[in-house]
Structure 1
Amino acid sequence: MIEGLDIADARVWRREETKVRSIEAGALADAMRDEENLVWVDLLDPSPEQLRQLVLRLGVSGTVVEDALAPHERAKVTPHADHLFFTVYATQLATDTLAEHADGRSHLSVTRISGIVLPRALITIRVSSPYCEAFDMGEVVKRWDDSASLMTQGSGALVHGLLDYVVDGHFDTIQSLDDALEGLEETLFAERRTGSEFVRTTYAIRKDLVALRRVVLPMREVVNALMRHRGRTGGPLDAWYDDLYDHVLRASEWTESLRDMVSTVFETNLSLQDARLNTIMKKLAAWAAIISVPTAVTGWFGQNVPYPGFQAHSGLVMSVVITVALSGGLYAIFRHNDWL
């Protein structure tokens, strides 16, 4: 093939048989020219020049080089006359515990996978990142092996197996975030008050959901574009792609519902804090009213003027009785109104 090109893995399926056999890099060009073969090649970190030579030999669009290697590309499908190019993102959550989310940082890892889809070949392109190793192509190959009968349907079967694994990874990530949100709800309505740790955890989960949403929502367009390009052939892949599209819709709806839920949790926490603050203010006002009674009574009787019980023991008894009676009465009224 191309000098220095790093081929992470490669397979060939014969049209007459579903048995899979590995293939050496030097034999890939011949294998891809054989119309009886179905070929998959996995490239890891190709240079722009290497990828440019590859697309030139394959006769595909030169825009593939930029789309496959440029940073910050969104998930998409680009149709061409005789081939397709797609980019998708696999996800994995580094943690599923609330304690680790409390640092306020995002724990969502994203792996980018691009692909060139030819009638009898699929070339996947991966660019190294801190999370690249988290995506296990071996599991994708295992899925292809488990559905070996579909290999006779061409490269569409390979694309389906790859995207099915990616979408399943989305579901695992969404499930982990859903579990984390349930833990937040339990903390939210617990007797103890929430603090800054709760706010940081909520913020971290919200960041993960925003990043996940940018990855999951475009998958509807990706799968829909692949289905339109394939057309309805009546073959077995139609049902598999319909099922894949249904999974993508469910993942999108689940992500949107979790995004709404985390916003609701955040707003509910603020409302509960306001309610607790109002309760505290009522208690303080009630105690202030109670304390004002003895202050007023002693202040009144402390005036240097004659009054009933002035300079007599009965005056002391009267002041104590009035203070206790009025304070006790106010306490009973506030307690009855649930102010204390």
Structure 2
Amino acid sequence: MVTFEDSSPVRTRLWRDGKLAEENYPLATVSDYLQEPDALVWVDFCDPTHTQLLALAEELEFDPHAVEDALAHGERTKATRYATHTFLTVYATHLHPEPEPGAEAHESRLHTTRISAFIVPRGMVTVRRGSPFDIDEVVRRWDENADLLKHGPGALVHGLLDTVVDGQFDTIQELDDTAETLEDDLFEDNVPTRLIQRRVYRLRKELVQLRRVVLPMREVVNTVLRHRAEHGNSVELDSWYTDLYDHVIRATEWSDSLRDMVTTVFETNLSLQDAHLNTIMKKLTSWAAIIAVPTAVTGWYGMNVPYPGFGQWWGVLTSAGVVFGAAAMLYVTFKRRDWL
């Protein structure tokens, strides 16, 4: 018998014939419960140590590569089938609130929790790493559909994946709301352009991070469906998995449309900046033309040669009249063309 170290939070549950029989039992009894034909076992680790997970892996004969993937950093979303179990890795997403004024507006608000699952014939072991994930929501869904648990670990996997996908949906919704707010801010004069630029950059960064974990979910669910079909699992769960797969497809399509929206916002922001720059250039050019008139006139009358009105009082009035008359004419002309 392997000795387990209680160095990180562990949660356990046991169902018999779909009914909760025991909770928070010792890890040493897991392998015994998995031998019972009517038992369904769930074990959950939160940030386990390498030694702790290896001990359970040795007890349940998990593949060493799957164990290393569960402990490694930056593992991609995937589902892999081994001789004794199926291993999958998914990411739950969470979007932090808008930062306080004065905080770095370009820092990503998206945080993820990596959830790895070892699926065996009569149970599932989950390993959570990263920012907090509400595992109680998964348990609540299992309890609400307790009649499904008699169909085996497929019900546990569905409850976990359904919670993760719904969380990804919520994150996409929040990013979509942020994109719509940015669209409105683009045409507000009281919103600083630099702030909009930072928010657009942050939104693009968050969306790229989100798509990295959302898009592979389609292949993960496909792998689970193929595994169920090959092993002739209970058809009662088929409609539930079909609905889950539909949600995954919708999340993928929504992320695609959101990417197009963010691209449009980014390009519109650049176009508005170009248009604003053109307006400024027109105004500067117009005022430069107006200022050039008195410069030219005073330069002409400032020459050290005789000219009409040289040394006469009416020469001063003539030069002043030319300056103000030409400047006024240019101002009216530029104003009509909306250059000023």
Deviation at 1:101, TM superposition (A): 7.1
* 1:95 counterpart SS class: coil
In the alignment, is the contact (CA less than 8 A) between 1:143 and 1:161 conserved in 2? yes
Show the counterpart of 2:57: 55
When normalised by structure 1's length, the TM-score is 0.89
Give the Cα–Cα distance (whole angstroms) in 2 for the partners of residues 200 and 2 of structure 1: 52
Moved more, 160-169 or 272-281: 272-281
Query: Cα–Cα, structure 1 residues 45 and 199, in superposed 2: closer, same or farther, change >3 Å?
Result: same
- Where does 1:1-340 land on structure 2 (aligned, <5 Å)? 2-5=3-6, 6=8, 8-15=10-17, 17-19=18-20, 21-25=22-26, 26-96=28-98, 99=101, 102-127=104-129, 129=130, 131=131, 134-192=132-190, 194-231=192-229, 235-340=235-340
Deviation at 1:99, TM superposition (A): 4.7
* 1:77 counterpart SS class: strand
Moved more, 46-55 or 287-296: 46-55
Deviation at 1:54, TM superposition (A): 2.4
Give the Cα–Cα distance (whole angstroms) in 2 for the partners of residues 196 and 52 of structure 1: 50
Unpaired stretches in structure 2, ≥5 consecutive residues? none
In the alignment, is the contact (CA less than 8 A) between 2:214 and 2:252 conserved in 1? yes
Deviation at 1:83, TM superposition (A): 2.0
Query: Cα–Cα, structure 1 residues 143 and 43, in superposed 2: closer, same or farther, change >3 Å?
Result: same
In the alignment, is the contact (CA less than 8 A) between 2:77 and 2:217 conserved in 1? yes
In the alignment, is the contact (CA less than 8 A) between 1:290 and 1:327 conserved in 2? yes
Moved more, 88-97 or 218-227: 88-97
In the alignment, is the contact (CA less than 8 A) between 1:101 and 1:205 conserved in 2? no
Deviation at 1:7, TM superposition (A): 5.9
Moved more, 65-74 or 301-310: 301-310
In the alignment, is the contact (CA less than 8 A) between 1:98 and 1:180 conserved in 2? no
Give the Cα–Cα distance (whole angstroms) in 2 for the partners of residues 34 and 46 of structure 1: 26
Give the Cα–Cα distance (whole angstroms) in 1 for the partners of residues 106 and 133 of structure 2: 25
Query: Cα–Cα, structure 1 residues 205 and 20, in superposed 2: closer, same or farther, change >3 Å?
Result: farther
Letter of the 1:284 counterpart: L
Give the Cα–Cα distance (whole angstroms) in 1 for the partners of residues 244 and 100 of structure 2: 31
In the alignment, is the contact (CA less than 8 A) between 1:101 and 1:107 conserved in 2? no
Deviation at 1:70, TM superposition (A): 1.5
Deviation at 1:98, TM superposition (A): 8.2
Per-residue CA deviation, residues 151-196 of structure 1 (Å, 9 max, x unaligned), is 1211011000011111111112122222222222222221246443
* 2:108 counterpart SS class: coil
* 2:272 counterpart SS class: helix
The aligned length equals 335
In the alignment, is the contact (CA less than 8 A) between 1:60 and 1:83 conserved in 2? yes
Deviation at 1:63, TM superposition (A): 2.1
Moved more, 214-223 or 57-66: 57-66
Give the Cα–Cα distance (whole angstroms) in 2 for the partners of residues 193 and 294 of structure 1: 38
Query: Cα–Cα, structure 1 residues 189 and 51, in superposed 2: closer, same or farther, change >3 Å?
Result: same
In the alignment, is the contact (CA less than 8 A) between 1:10 and 1:23 conserved in 2? yes
Give the Cα–Cα distance (whole angstroms) in 2 for the partners of residues 204 and 168 of structure 1: 23
When normalised by structure 2's length, the TM-score is 0.89
Give the Cα–Cα distance (whole angstroms) in 1 for the partners of residues 296 and 48 of structure 2: 86
Give the Cα–Cα distance (whole angstroms) in 2 for the partners of residues 296 and 100 of structure 1: 49
Q: CA RMSD in A?
A: 2.4
In the alignment, is the contact (CA less than 8 A) between 1:102 and 1:198 conserved in 2? no
In the alignment, is the contact (CA less than 8 A) between 1:20 and 1:145 conserved in 2? no
Give the Cα–Cα distance (whole angstroms) in 1 for the partners of residues 287 and 9 of structure 2: 77
Give the Cα–Cα distance (whole angstroms) in 2 for the partners of residues 48 and 8 of structure 1: 14
* 1:203 counterpart SS class: helix
In the alignment, is the contact (CA less than 8 A) between 1:38 and 1:120 conserved in 2? yes
Give the Cα–Cα distance (whole angstroms) in 1 for the partners of residues 155 and 3 of structure 2: 26
In the alignment, is the contact (CA less than 8 A) between 2:63 and 2:82 conserved in 1? yes
Give the Cα–Cα distance (whole angstroms) in 1 for the partners of residues 106 and 87 of structure 2: 36
In the alignment, is the contact (CA less than 8 A) between 1:106 and 1:204 conserved in 2? yes
In the alignment, is the contact (CA less than 8 A) between 1:92 and 1:109 conserved in 2? yes
